[in-house]
Amino acid sequence: MKLSTKGRYGVRALLDLALHQDEGLVPLKDIARRQEVSLPYLEHLITPLVAAGLVKSTRGARGGVSLVKPPSEIKLSEAVQLLEGSIAPVDCVNDPKLCHRSAYCVTRDIWSEMKNAMSQVLDSTTIQDLVERQRQKGQPETEMYHI
């Protein structure tokens, strides 16, 4: 039941972006440096977010990425879904046809409950919530990693 680096780094990238959006377009390079993720990898993480219209990217010199919606309207469930795919512990929770036992499989019911419990958390948390928590903790994300 581990989250992959896509989900972890991707959410952190969104948070970083939200924390710096008042500075205008944010180059991926800056996010990569602050979040300690390699730039080539971050490029792949940002792709699905751009494709989904969550993030807007601007090419060229002085380019960078920016949030399309305000952070308060970006639910973590949306971000995680884009980055990791469905959060369901087993695929047959989303599509019963994937398991030929699903009609009478009681463990599937439990995995489904787990999915709901997780969704509950991710649906009720937005990037804005993370921003506020971060500011309370001393906003190190904006202060550290200056050389």
Q: Which residues bind a copy of itself (CB under 8 A)?
A: 1-3, 7-8, 11-12, 15, 36, 76, 84, 87-91, 101, 104, 106-107, 109-111, 113-114, 117-118, 120-122, 125, 130, 133-134, 137-138, 140-141
List the one residue out of 32, 69, 75, 41 whose CA is nearest residue 53. Answer: 69
Amino acid identity, position 137: K
Q: Which is nearer to ligand FES, 67 or 93 (CB)?
A: 93
Taking CB under 6 A as the binding criterion, the range among 23-31, 75-83, 95-103, 114-122 that sits at the site for ligand FES is: 95-103
Taking CB under 7 A as the binding criterion, the range among 56-64, 69-77, 97-105, 128-136 that sits at the site for DNA is: 56-64
Q: Is the dihedral of CA 144, 146, 71, 49 positive or negative?
A: negative
d(CA 25, CA 32): 14
Residue 72 binding result from a copy of itself, DNA, ligand FES, none, given CB thresholds of 5 to 8 Å by partner type: none
| One of 62, 97, 100, 146 touching DNA (CB under 7 A) | 62
d(CA 35, CA 58): 20
Query: Helix 28-35 crosses helix 39-51 at what angle (to 10 degrees)?
Result: 120
